[in-house]
Amino acid sequence: METDLFLRLIRNLMNINAVVVTDYDKDLRSFEEKYCYNNTLQPMFTREALSLMINSSETETIYEIVDSLNVCIIFFKFCDQTFIVGPYVQKEYSENFLEQMIIKNSLPASNLISLRLYYTAFPIMYSSQLQGTLTAVMQSFDPSVIAFHYRKLTGFIQDAAEKTLHTDIDNTDYSSIYRRYDDEHRFLSMIKNGDVENVKSAFKIMAASTANYDFMKENPTYSNPAVSFAILRVLARKAAEDSGLSVITINAITQKYVQLMDSSLNSSSQQTYIYDMILELTRAVHEHKLTLGDYSIPVQKIMEYVELHLGNEITIKRLSEITNMSISHLSKIFKSETKQTISEYIAKKRCEKAASFLKNTDYAIQDISSFVGYQDNNYFVKVFKKIYGITPSSYRKNT
Give the whole-angstrom CA distance, residue 146 versus residue 136: 9
Q: Tell me the pLDDT band of 162, cut-offs 50, 70 and 90.
A: very low
- Structural domains present in the chain: 3-170 (no CATH), 175-292 (no CATH), 297-398 (1.10.10.60)
Q: What is the structure's pLDDT at 54?
A: 92
Which residues contact residue 183 at a Cβ distance below 8 angstroms, ignoring those fewer than 6 apart? 202, 205, 206, 209
pLDDT score of 209: 63
Look at residue 230 in the predicted model and tell me its pLDDT: 85
How much is the pLDDT for 337?
A: 93
Q: What is the pLDDT of residue 381?
A: 95
CA distance 382 to 367: 16
**Comparing 135 with 178, which gets the higher pLDDT?**
135
Q: What is the mean pLDDT of residues 376-390?
A: 95
- Report how far residue 331's alpha carbon sits from residue 322's, in angstroms, rounded to the nearest whole number: 13
pLDDT of residue 40: 83
| Confidence category of residue 165, pLDDT binned at 50, 70, 90 | very low
Which of 375, 302, 289, 398 has the alpha carbon at shortest distance from 344? 302
* Residue 246 pLDDT class (50, 70, 90 cuts): confident
Q: How many residues does the chain have?
A: 399
Determine the average pLDDT of the residues in 140-150.
Answer: 87
What digits encode the pLDDT tens for the residues 9-65? 999 998 899 999 999 899 999 999 999 998 888 999 999 999 999 998 988 999 999
* Strand 81-89 versus strand 149-153 pairing type: unpaired
Residue burial 264-292, b: 16+ Cβ < 10 Å; e: rest: eeeeeebbebbeebbebbbebbbebbeeb
β pairing state of 81-89 and 61-66: unpaired
**pLDDT recorded at residue 178:** 65
Across 89-103, 160-174, 273-287, 331-345, least confident range: 160-174
3-state secondary structure string, the chain? Answer: CCHHHHHHHHHHHHCCCEEEECCHHHHHHHHHHHHCCCCCCCHHHCHHHHHHHHHCCCCCEEEEEECCCCEEEEEEEECCEEEEEEEEECCCCCHHHHHHHHHHCCCCCCHHHHHHHHHHCCCECCHHHHHHHHHHHHHHHCCCCCCCEEEEECCCCHHHHCCCCCCCHHHCCCHHHHHHHHHHHHHHHHHHCCCHHHHHHHHHHHHHCCCCCHHHCCCCCCCCHHHHHHHHHHHHHHHHHHCCCCHHHHHHHHHHHHHHCCCCCCHHHHHHHHHHHHHHHHHHHHHHHHHHCCCCHHHHHHHHHHHHCCCCCCCHHHHHHHHCCCHHHHHHHHHHHHCCCHHHHHHHHHHHHHHHHHHHCCCCHHHHHHHCCCCCHHHHHHHHHHHHCCCHHHHHHHC
> Is pLDDT above 80 for 167?
no
Q: pTM, whole model, 2 decimals?
A: 0.54
Comparing 218-222, 246-250, 270-274, the range with the smallest average pLDDT is 218-222
Lowest mean pLDDT segment, chosen from 153-162, 189-198, 358-367: 153-162
pLDDT of residue 221: 62
How far apart are alpha carbons 374 and 310 in whole angstroms? 10
Q: Per residue in 335-376, pLDDT tens?
A: 999 999 999 999 999 999 999 999 999 999 999 999 999 999
Query: In this model, does residue 210 exceed pLDDT 80?
Result: no
pLDDT for the residue numbered 173: 54
